[in-house]
């Protein structure tokens, strides 16, 4: 190990290697579920340096954990507690390499913080639509490695759909130069799609070319109170029918989610009274502010007439729109503040969601009275964060130890029976590795293992994550 670290230091310089000292920011995952210990943290500043790190890891058989902003929620971006795994942090690679306005594309390095990518696109008069609550810390490389979703998937798709090309360093230290702004390229297997969503288990993404879109003329946000999830689904249908592609956000929050925010973050203003389900809608209009407002008012009036909305508020200005979004984005923060909970990031056909929630709420309440379900998410994408919190007075740690396996079993059995997925957007990591092995189609698992072996023959890339 000493020879390995000395070679790394020589190649990366003092700024490029953290060894000894306090490495805790790189060793602890965001949810604080997987405390780890790193051999060291490599901080390469260029693609060539990443290649040198992986070449050395390959030669010395050192396992590598790629890391971006370390906001991942499945325990895939931090080392285990062996003290043998090298963290490879991309955060020094944060250059926007270029923007091609005519091609509506942007090329940026993997360590660019998502909010900085959005800002660079905006400066060029264009929109980079990927958006999630962690956007001030998560990185473009992490977004692609997890195929992140977020709040704009309904209109623009997830990270995979926004990506045109990648630059990747392979497990043996070769550089695959696949940065392309092409929208059509049928020249064999799609390597780009292989690395997207691979959670650092196949190689290291060092840069990407991403799609940009026109900036909407106006963006309007509203909150709507619905009595039931069936009503929220009816509102989604109506919003799609009336607004078409202009509907860019459709988020739901159950009563318990907003009550938790009120408890943990009382400074946040909640404009509507408590409702069974509160929906956050966003319209992005290409025409004008008046057109957007007319569309929104017409939609909400029709929804009230049909009886699927009880009350609604349209944000009057940008600040108010931010406040509305902040409520939705504050839910994970309020949950983190309240302590550990059992998280499920699931997707289902939208039509199956109300039935799933009714069945599961009843099943879990019968299983453990007092249990609290914090249920929120991207209803427009069929993606729910169905999180289960300990009954009042029960310590979260004890609750997880005693009930996590049983509750996961109940939730995932129902999800699979209804044709859903056990991971909609957060990935597999360490958190869902066993579930994946049990529930994924065996042929698909066999193919995934074959790909892993072909691309990472020594099994050094993020070992024991996902597979």
Query: Which residues in this chain contact ligand FAD in the complex, by CB under 6 A?
Result: 30, 65-73, 76-77, 90, 110, 132-134, 138-139, 141-143, 145-146, 148-150, 199-200, 204-205, 332, 425-426, 462, 465
Nearer to ligand FAD, 141 or 178 (CB): 141
**H/E stretch holding 364:** helix 353-367
* Helix, strand, coil percentages, rounded to 5, for the chain: 40, 20, 35
Residue nearest ligand FAD (C-beta atom): 142
Nearest-approach distance from CB 387 to ligand FAD, in angstroms: 12
Nearer to ligand FAD, 79 or 216 (CB): 79
Nearer to ligand FAD, 180 or 228 (CB): 180
Cα–Cα distance for residue pair 384/424, rounded to 1 Å? 8
Angle of CA points 380, 382, 386, to nearest 5° = 115
Nearer to ligand FAD, 211 or 426 (CB): 426
**What angle in degrees, to the nearest 10, is found between the helix axes of 2-12 and 47-60?**
170
Nearest-approach distance from CB 65 to ligand FAD, in angstroms: 6
Nearest-approach distance from CB 402 to ligand FAD, in angstroms: 26
What string of DSSP letters covers 3-60? HHHHHHHHHH-GGGEE-SS--HHHHS-TTS-----EEEEE--SSHHHHHHHHHHHHHH
Cα–Cα distance for residue pair 243/226, rounded to 1 Å? 19
Nearest-approach distance from CB 365 to ligand FAD, in angstroms: 27
Q: Which residues pair with 388 in a beta bridge?
A: 342, 373
Nearest one of 396, 262, 253, 242 to 305, comparing CA atoms = 242
Burial of 157 (0-12, 13-18, 19+ CB in 10 A): middle
Cα–Cα distance for residue pair 114/143, rounded to 1 Å? 8
Nearer to ligand FAD, 67 or 408 (CB): 67
Nearest-approach distance from CB 301 to ligand FAD, in angstroms: 30
Nearest-approach distance from CB 288 to ligand FAD, in angstroms: 30
Nearer to ligand FAD, 27 or 425 (CB): 425
Nearest-approach distance from CB 150 to ligand FAD, in angstroms: 4
Nearer to ligand FAD, 108 or 283 (CB): 108
Nearer to ligand FAD, 68 or 216 (CB): 68
Side-chain-side CA neighbours of 229 within 13 Å: the count stands at: 23
Nearest-approach distance from CB 446 to ligand FAD, in angstroms: 22
Instruction: Take residue 126 and report the two structure tokens written for it.
Output: 């264009």
């Amino acid at each position: 190990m000493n020879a390995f670290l000395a070679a790394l230091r020589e190649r990366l310089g003092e700024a490029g290697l953290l060894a000894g000292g306090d490495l805790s920011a790189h060793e602890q995952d965001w949810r604080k579920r997987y405390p780890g210990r790193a051999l060291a943290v490599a901080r390469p500043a260029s693609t060539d340096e990443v290649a040198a790190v992986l070449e050395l890891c390959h030669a010395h058989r050192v396992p590598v954990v790629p890391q971006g902003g370390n906001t991942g929620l499945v325990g895939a971006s931090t080392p285990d507690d062996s003290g043998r795994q090298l963290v490879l942090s991309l955060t020094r690679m944060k250059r926007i390499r270029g923007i091609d306005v005519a091609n509506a594309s942007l090329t940026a390095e993997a360590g660019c913080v998502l909010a900085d990518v959005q800002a660079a696109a905006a400066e060029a008069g264009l929109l980079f639509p990927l958006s999630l609550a962690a956007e001030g810390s998560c990185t473009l490389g992490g977004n692609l490695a997890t195929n992140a979703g977020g709040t704009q998937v309904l209109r623009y798709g997830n990270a995979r759909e926004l990506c045109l090309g990648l630059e990747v360093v392979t497990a043996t230290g070769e550089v695959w130069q696949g940065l392309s702004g092409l929208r059509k390229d049928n020249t064999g297997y799609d390597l780009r799609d292989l690395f997207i969503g691979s959670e650092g288990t196949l190689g290291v993404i060092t840069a990407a070319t991403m799609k940009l879109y026109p900036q909407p003329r106006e963006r309007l946000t509203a909150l709507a109170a619905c009595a039931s999830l069936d009503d929220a689904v009816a509102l989604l249908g109506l919003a799609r029918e009336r607004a078409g592609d202009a509907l860019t956000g459709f988020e739901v929050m159950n009563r318990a989610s907003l009550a938790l925010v009120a408890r943990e973050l009382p400074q946040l203003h909640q404009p509507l009274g408590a409702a069974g389900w509160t929906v956050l809608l966003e319209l992005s209009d290409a025409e004008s502010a008046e057109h957007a407002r007319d569309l929104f008012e017409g939609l909400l009036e029709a929804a009230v007439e049909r009886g699927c909305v009880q009350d609604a508020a349209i944000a009057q200005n940008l600040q108010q729109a931010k406040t509305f979004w902040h409520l939705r984005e504050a839910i994970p923060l309020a949950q983190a503040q309240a302590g550990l909970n059992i998280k499920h990031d699931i997707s289902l056909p939208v039509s199956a969601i109300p039935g799933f929630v009714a069945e599961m709420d009843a099943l879990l309440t019968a299983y453990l009275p007092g249990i609290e379900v914090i249920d929120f998410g991207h209803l427009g994408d069929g993606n729910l964060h169905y999180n289960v919190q300990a009954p009042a007075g029960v310590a979260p740690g004890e609750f997880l130890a005693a009930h996590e396996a049983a509750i996961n079993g109940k939730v995932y059995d129902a999800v699979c029976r209804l044709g859903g997925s056990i991971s909609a957007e957060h990935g597999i990591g360490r958190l869902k590795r066993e579930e994946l092995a049990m529930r994924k189609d065996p042929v698909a698992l066999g193919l995934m293992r074959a790909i892993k072996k072909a691309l990472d023959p020594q099994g050094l890339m993020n070992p024991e994550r996902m597979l």
